[in-house]
Amino acid sequence: MTTITAADVKKLRDMTGAGMMDCKTALTETNGDIEAAVDWLRKKGLSKAAKKSGRVAADGLIGIVAKGREGAVVEVNSETDFVARNEQFQTLVREIAALAPAAKGDLKALLAATYPGTKNSVETTIQEAVATIGENMTVRRTAAVAVKEGVVADYVHNRVADGLGKIGVLVALESAGDEPTLFELARMIAMHVAAASPVALDISEVPADVIEREKAILADKNQGKKPDVLEKIISGGIKAFAKENCLLEQQYIHDTTKTVAQAVKEAEGKAGAPIKVAGFVRFALGEGIDKKEEDFGEEVRKLASGG
């Protein structure tokens, strides 16, 4: 029988907002499988859709750079936040971010690039920094956006220094319009992306497995409904999913009376040309990394019992 720890229950509660007992029941029913437990709670109507971002945490920094029509972002992880506040580590991340646009989102190319002021690669420089700082570090991922005509703007949330923080966003706008107007709009949208955490530009870009998962949950929650009724429910559910998770259909945080798409359309008059949101990237520090969590209550019980 799978042992359900207090840490497991807490993690599921943080992910879903469901009650402690409901979380424990969900974990018991799914043999401790966190992802399956999330779906179990949703099928029972006890949890809202859980987004992947924000589920886990890791230390380090997001480094970001945007120059005219291109931009790139990197995530460099460290073991502790103490190192992330270290000036040497911050310089390391900033220099790697400066190299990232040329790598065009290719992590191997970025790691192979020559680190400024040395003959060493980024990968070798990281290894040397590990030895110097005394803590494991890694360049985990990178991404880039670019447009042939238009602008790329960046935004850093929880900023610790120029171009460094806990969340980094790039937004690319394709347009022949006035560049200052485009840049202002792109930066506002980048702030929106940081806050709203969309998973895709529109519903066509949402991964098929994510859509199928949503449909399966809706079907399970509405068992026994007539096929035509169920079809309408699922269709409506997917539309609601798009409004919550797709950038262009989300309520614009700077003016909730309109969607992001409507805000972009309205800006075309001021810009003097059509505007297309060509893409965006959002990196949140540590998302998708499983970080070991100690069950201190269990440790105390073991110590008290001599275990």
Q: What is the pLDDT of residues 286-304, one digit of tens each?
A: 887 765 554 545 544 554 5
* Domain membership flag for residue 64: yes
- Statement to judge: residues 135 and 169 lie in one domain: yes
- Statement to judge: residues 8 and 129 lie in one domain: no
Q: Contact 8/293 with Cβ under 8 angstroms?
A: no
* Domain membership flag for residue 227: no
More confident residue, 23 or 164: 164
Question: What confidence score (pLDDT) does residue 34 get?
Answer: 86
**Phi first, then psi: what are they for 248, rounded to 5°?**
-65, -25
- Statement to judge: residues 146 and 273 lie in one domain: yes
Range of the domain at 68: 59-199+263-284
* Domain membership flag for residue 12: yes
- Statement to judge: residues 142 and 275 lie in one domain: yes
> In this structure, what CATH number is given to the domain that contains residue 32?
1.10.8.10
Question: What confidence score (pLDDT) does residue 127 get?
Answer: 87
Among 163, 167, 165, residue whose Cα is nearest residue 94: 163
* Domain membership flag for residue 242: no
* Domain membership flag for residue 110: yes
* Domain membership flag for residue 222: no
Compute the distance between CA of residue 45 and CA of residue 47 in angstroms, rounded to an integer: 6
Rounded to the nearest 10 degrees, the angle between the axes of helix 208-221 and helix 227-245 is 130
Q: What are 219-275's pLDDT values in tens digits? A: 888 888 888 888 898 888 888 888 899 999 999 999 999 999 999 999 999 999 999
Report residue 252 as tokens.
Answer: 């614009």
Question: What confidence score (pLDDT) does residue 209 get?
Answer: 86
Question: What confidence score (pLDDT) does residue 122 get?
Answer: 95
- Statement to judge: residues 92 and 34 lie in one domain: no
Q: Contact 294/209 with Cβ under 8 angstroms?
A: no
Q: Round the average pLDDT of the chain to a whole number and report it.
A: 86
Asked whether residue 148 carries a pLDDT value surpassing 50, the answer given is yes
- Statement to judge: residues 32 and 164 lie in one domain: no
Going by DSSP bridges, is the β-strand pair 150-157/164-165 parallel, antiparallel, or unpaired?
A: unpaired
CA angle 102, 105, 107 (to 5 degrees): 95
Asked whether residue 159 carries a pLDDT value surpassing 50, the answer given is yes
* Domain membership flag for residue 271: yes
Report residue 195 as tokens.
Answer: 């806050």
Going by DSSP bridges, is the β-strand pair 167-174/70-78 parallel, antiparallel, or unpaired?
A: unpaired
- Statement to judge: residues 79 and 20 lie in one domain: no
- Statement to judge: residues 74 and 190 lie in one domain: yes
- Statement to judge: residues 44 and 67 lie in one domain: no
Question: What confidence score (pLDDT) does residue 46 get?
Answer: 67
* Domain membership flag for residue 211: no
Order of strands across the sheet that contains 276-284:
150-157, 167-174, 276-284
- Statement to judge: residues 135 and 274 lie in one domain: yes
Residue recorded with tokens 């706008």: 173
Among 109, 127, 110, residue whose Cα is nearest residue 74: 110
Report residue 63 as tokens.
Answer: 């480094």
Compute the distance between CA of residue 140 and CA of residue 121 in angstroms, rounded to an integer: 15
Among 69, 35, 33, 64, residue whose Cα is nearest residue 50: 35
Compute the distance between CA of residue 300 and CA of residue 286 in angstroms, rounded to an integer: 28
Number of domains in the chain: 2
Q: How far apart, in Å, are the Cα atoms of 101 and each of 70, 98, 181?
A: 7, 7, 23
- Statement to judge: residues 103 and 176 lie in one domain: yes
CA 291 to chain centre: 16
> In this structure, what CATH number is given to the domain that contains residue 87?
3.30.479.20
Q: Contact 202/249 with Cβ under 8 angstroms?
A: yes
- Statement to judge: residues 185 and 44 lie in one domain: no
Asked whether residue 45 carries a pLDDT value surpassing 80, the answer given is no
